[in-house]
């Protein structure tokens, strides 16, 4: 919580109260509660959370669920308010000088709404920390039959596509879009076959949560696929 009246922040058993000024434009009413608006909320997350958690949160806030196809009506994604970097920057200007300004700048320069999931966002953080070259995000690929799809990660200099596979991709309705899990697996296999057949694609490498949380495993997968570290 943020309280513009108290002199210092305090942490209780059930809540953390930040002593911080709030302009009238920093807040709005949602579901009967006064809350910070999206830009101010994102600013607070960027300056208070650890880097990886801040990136995951802000990538999600910036992500437009409509960008790569329709969303399931009535889902959380369908009702989402998409944050823009302009809103984030405006919230920063209203807030003025803050002790965590450098931290905010680091997060601000790294976040990217093209990351398609929390797993992809965390993967980007780990790739950066481990010295891997930055990939192109959501690169579209086409063949003679049309659009194949968007690759999570693409290293054109190595001809390598990277794909993060979370369990929800084959289990939750907003990812399945009405298909059965088995059909989704078959469709993904056919998609990968089409990608591998492209002359610019040398291979496709996949990883899961367990590979991201144990970074040495992700290192091994990328090295085996032919990606070379930037440093």
Rounded-to-integer distance, Cα 196 and Cα 189, Å = 11
Residue 222 CB neighbours (<10 A): 24
The residue ranges of every structural domain in the chain are 2-112, 128-225
At residue 165, the pLDDT reads 87
At residue 198, the pLDDT reads 97
At residue 114, the pLDDT reads 94
pLDDT level of residue 21 (50, 70, 90 thresholds): confident
Residue 225 CB neighbours (<10 A): 18
Mean pLDDT of 155-184: 72
At residue 184, the pLDDT reads 73
Interhelix angle 118-129/101-110, nearest 10 degrees: 110
Residue, of 193 and 80, whose pLDDT is higher: 193
Residue 224 CB neighbours (<10 A): 10
Rounded-to-integer distance, Cα 77 and Cα 88, Å = 20
Residue 171 has pLDDT above 60, yes or no: no
Mean pLDDT of 32-51: 93
Q: Is 8 left (phi over 0), alpha (psi -120 to 50) or beta?
A: beta
* Through-space distance between the first and last CA atoms of the chain, rounded to whole angstroms: 41
The three-state secondary structure class of 10 is strand
List, as one string, the DSSP characters of 165-212. Answer: --GGGGT-HHHHTT--HHHHHHHHHHHHHHHHTSTT--EEEEE-HHHH
**CB distance 44 to 36 below 8 Å:** yes
pLDDT in tens, 74-114: 656 666 788 999 999 999 988 877 777 888 999 999 999 99
Lowest mean pLDDT among 65-69, 78-82, 121-125, 176-180: 176-180
The three-state secondary structure class of 102 is helix
pLDDT in tens, 117-133: 999 999 999 999 999 99
Percent of residues, the chain, with pLDDT higher than 70: 87
Q: Is 107 left (phi over 0), alpha (psi -120 to 50) or beta?
A: alpha
């Amino acid at each position: 919580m943020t309280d513009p009246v108290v002199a210092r922040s305090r942490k209780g058993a059930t809540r953390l109260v930040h002593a911080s000024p709030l302009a009238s434009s920093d807040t709005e009413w949602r579901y009967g509660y006064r809350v910070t608006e999206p830009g101010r909320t994102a600013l607070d997350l960027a300056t208070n959370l650890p880097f990886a958690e801040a990136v995951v949160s802000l990538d999600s806030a910036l992500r437009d669920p409509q960008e790569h196809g329709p969303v399931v009506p009535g889902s959380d994604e369908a009702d989402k308010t998409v944050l823009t970097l302009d809103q984030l920057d405006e919230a920063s200007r209203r807030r003025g000088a803050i002790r965590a300004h450098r931290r905010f700048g680091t997060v601000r320069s790294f976040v990217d709404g093209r990351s398609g999931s929390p797993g992809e966002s965390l993967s980007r953080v780990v790739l950066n920390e481990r010295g891997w070259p930055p990939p192109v995000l959501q690169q579209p690929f086409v063949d003679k039959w049309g659009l194949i799809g968007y690759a999570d990660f693409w290293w054109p200099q190595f001809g390598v596509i990277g794909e993060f596979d979370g369990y929800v991709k084959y289990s939750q309705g907003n990812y399945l879009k009405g298909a059965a899990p088995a059909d989704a697996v078959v469709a993904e296999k056919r998609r990968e076959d089409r990608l591998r057949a492209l002359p610019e694609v040398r291979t496709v490498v996949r990883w899961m949560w367990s590979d991201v949380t144990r970074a040495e495993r992700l290192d091994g997968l990328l090295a085996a696929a032919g990606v070379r570290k930037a440093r």
